[in-house]
Amino acid sequence: MASSSSASEINNSSTSPEPGPLMRLLLNAKDQSPSQPTPLEKKEPEKDLNWYLPLYKASLQGDWESAREFFNRDPDAVTAKITHSLETVLHIAVGTVMAINFVKELLELIQPEILPSLRDQAGQTPLHYAAIFGNVEAAKLLVNRSPAMTNAPSNTGFLPIHLAAGYANKDAVSYLLTVTRDDIQPNPFRDESGAELLNLMIIAEFYDLALYMIQLYPGLATAKSPAGNSALSIIARKDLSVSGGSSVKIWETFLYSRMPAYFWNLYEHPKRKYPDNPDIGCQSCARICCCIRKLNFCGLSVVPSYGQKFIEGCQKLQAAFWKIIVNLVPHVRDARETKFMHLQALQLVRCLCTEVSKLDYATAASFFQQPIIVGASFGNNVIVEEILHSFPPAIWSRNHEGHNIFMTAVANRREGIFNLLYQMSGHKRLALRLVDNKMNNILHLAGSGKTCAPRIEGSQKLQWKNSSSGIFRGTQRLG
């Protein structure tokens, strides 16, 4: 009996071996699993973009009735992404300038705190779209509803005011300047962000707004954008001449010189003139008024009351005359706007140079180097003259090839720049003898065919070489 019981134990042990480690883990997991399987959570399937197509069309057409019916069927569509670019219906409506009533009704359905979070694939809010398309009315509605949107950056760090300037929408820039905050971050009026905004204004030729910014934030004059460009280096690429690079007729030159040069920016009273504007009023009126003031100053009173009345009468008569001329003759209106822009640009350049000149000597010399070289290569006489007036040592600036501004002017065939520099007799004898990194002097550059300017005809190249050699021989005799 004992032998039989032991044999049965051996058989039982051989038929049911101990489970291994992996088997034990599986058995434990099986014991811990619930007896009844949990049902899967039911998720609502994502809507295809074609579902939102009627809403997209309604927003483009400004059809609020159709949009409201769609929202009644699908309330979530108010803030849903309805395009591949992740735009909402508010983005689309703001981009349609004529759908102002549509935007107004739609904003009533959206909570104000949600508006800054409505962003497309590029991280742009509806206010960015209003800035891009120049939709000032929509921008006002959005800012009134959610003021925080003015300082909400996109994925690239651009605020709505940056995009308004980048797309040359002056009315939008003017409005956003009044509502964008400068006491919170990101601040578009300081450091690299402010420099980028100022540069975009200059590229768009909004010189009055750029001047306004410099007056409020003088530090922007010495700031540089993320690409390393200052405001002076950007405006150095502009043609700041009166003609704007085009030919000017004799009558246009006469008209330009006689036209009163009132100009102001959007944030000054239209009747307020710049005190240092040398061209206010027509020449004859200015001379008469100046004579009256001088006589009064010297004690030769010209009946002050009558003298003042005469001055005011001349100004009113002049203003009425030019108002009639501007309204009747389109060419005069264009010339007037051109003169305004030219004077604003000149005032801006002077302000920039003044602020940069306040830096220490080494920093100012380094800062002026790029703008004056760029100005010489682009033939920008205004920039070169103003920089040299504010900081004369800038005449020794050189580029990466070792070209000073004399050489840069010759290499790019900028005759006006070269003549301007040559008139500065205190520097020409030394500057004309300098050589670049390859030991080339001005004569070599004048005869060289490699220029940054368009191809020069042979006769013109010969004329440049003869002119430069004559000047060079003259300086040798003077030396």
- Token match 């291994």: residue? 20
Examine the domain organization and report whether 163 and 194 are in the same domain: no
Examine the domain organization and report whether 340 and 211 are in the same domain: yes
Q: Considering the domain boundaries, does residue 325 fall inside one? A: yes
Cβ atoms < 10 Å from Cβ of 410: 29
CATH of the domain at 91: 1.25.40.20
Examine the domain organization and report whether 108 and 168 are in the same domain: yes
**Percent of the chain's residues with pLDDT above 90:** 46
Gap between the Cα atoms of 261 and 281, Å rounded: 7
Examine the domain organization and report whether 58 and 173 are in the same domain: yes
Position 339 pLDDT exceeds 80: no
Examine the domain organization and report whether 147 and 222 are in the same domain: no
The model's pLDDT over 57-72, given as tens digits with 9 standing for 90+, comes to 999 999 999 999 999 9
Gap between the Cα atoms of 209 and 104, Å rounded: 29
Q: Which whole number is the average pLDDT over 268-295? A: 40
Q: Considering the domain boundaries, does residue 147 fall inside one? A: yes
Examine the domain organization and report whether 148 and 73 are in the same domain: yes
- Token match 């919170």: residue? 184
Cβ-proximal residues to 158 (8 Å cutoff; 6+ apart), any chain: 128, 166
Q: Considering the domain boundaries, does residue 208 fall inside one? A: yes
Gap between the Cα atoms of 194 and 185, Å rounded: 12
Q: What are phi and psi of 105, to 5 degrees?
A: -70, -40
Gap between the Cα atoms of 120 and 128, Å rounded: 10
Cβ-proximal residues to 462 (8 Å cutoff; 6+ apart), any chain: none
Among 184, 217, 232, identify where a domain stops: 184
Flag the least confident range among 250-264, 338-352, 353-367: 250-264
Examine the domain organization and report whether 126 and 77 are in the same domain: yes
- Token match 């405001």: residue? 231
Q: Is 156 exposed, middle or buried (0-12, 13-18, 19+ CB in 10 A)?
A: exposed
pLDDT of res. 380: 87
**Percent of the chain's residues with pLDDT above 70:** 61
The model's pLDDT over 355-373, given as tens digits with 9 standing for 90+, comes to 999 999 999 999 999 999 9
Position 342 pLDDT exceeds 80: yes
Among 168, 184, 200, identify where a domain stops: 184
* Domain limits for position 335: 189-244+315-353+380-385
* 3-class DSSP string for 419-430: HHHHCCHHHHHH
Band (217; pLDDT cuts 50, 70, 90) = very high
Q: Considering the domain boundaries, does residue 345 fall inside one? A: yes
Is residue 147 helix, strand or coil?
Answer: helix
pLDDT of res. 242: 60
CB 383 within 8 A of CB 230: no
pLDDT of res. 160: 97
Q: Considering the domain boundaries, does residue 14 fall inside one? A: no
Q: Considering the domain boundaries, does residue 126 fall inside one? A: yes
Band (98; pLDDT cuts 50, 70, 90) = confident
Tally of domains in the chain: 2
The model's pLDDT over 393-414, given as tens digits with 9 standing for 90+, comes to 898 888 888 887 887 887 888 7
Q: Which whole number is the average pLDDT over 258-283? A: 41
More confident residue, 142 or 339: 142
Distance of CA 441 to the CA centre of its chain: 38
Is residue 18 helix, strand or coil?
Answer: coil
Calculated CA dihedral for residues 460, 464, 465, 471, nearest 10 degrees:
160
- Listed residue (348, 329, 349) closest to 259, CA to CA: 329
Examine the domain organization and report whether 63 and 174 are in the same domain: yes
- Token match 């601040």: residue? 187
Q: Considering the domain boundaries, does residue 9 fall inside one? A: no
pLDDT of res. 173: 96
Among 335, 362, 385, identify where a domain stops: 385
The model's pLDDT over 159-206, given as tens digits with 9 standing for 90+, comes to 999 999 999 999 999 999 999 999 999 999 999 999 999 999 999 999
- Listed residue (426, 422, 442, 355) closest to 392, CA to CA: 426
Q: Which whole number is the average pLDDT over 327-348? A: 76
pLDDT of res. 19: 61
Position 99 pLDDT exceeds 90: no
Band (47; pLDDT cuts 50, 70, 90) = confident
pLDDT of res. 436: 72
Examine the domain organization and report whether 96 and 217 are in the same domain: no
The model's pLDDT over 419-434, given as tens digits with 9 standing for 90+, comes to 776 676 566 666 667 7
Is residue 205 helix, strand or coil?
Answer: coil
CB 417 within 8 A of CB 405: yes
Gap between the Cα atoms of 257 and 139, Å rounded: 40
Examine the domain organization and report whether 59 and 128 are in the same domain: yes
- Token match 């380094």: residue? 366
Cβ-proximal residues to 231 (8 Å cutoff; 6+ apart), any chain: 195, 198, 199, 202, 210, 214, 220, 221, 352
Examine the domain organization and report whether 84 and 178 are in the same domain: yes
Flag the least confident range among 5-19, 40-54, 139-153, 447-461: 447-461
Q: Considering the domain boundaries, does residue 438 fall inside one? A: no
Q: Is 354 exposed, middle or buried (0-12, 13-18, 19+ CB in 10 A)?
A: middle
3-state helix, strand, coil in the chain (%, to 5): 65, 0, 35
Q: Which whole number is the average pLDDT over 266-277? A: 37
Angle at 394 between CA 225 and CA 240, to 5 degrees: 65
Examine the domain organization and report whether 177 and 64 are in the same domain: yes
Gap between the Cα atoms of 141 and 147, Å rounded: 10
Calculated CA dihedral for residues 51, 53, 56, 57, nearest 10 degrees:
-140
The model's pLDDT over 107-159, given as tens digits with 9 standing for 90+, comes to 999 999 999 999 999 999 999 999 999 999 999 999 999 999 999 999 999 99
Query: Please, what is the average pLDDT of the chain?
Result: 76
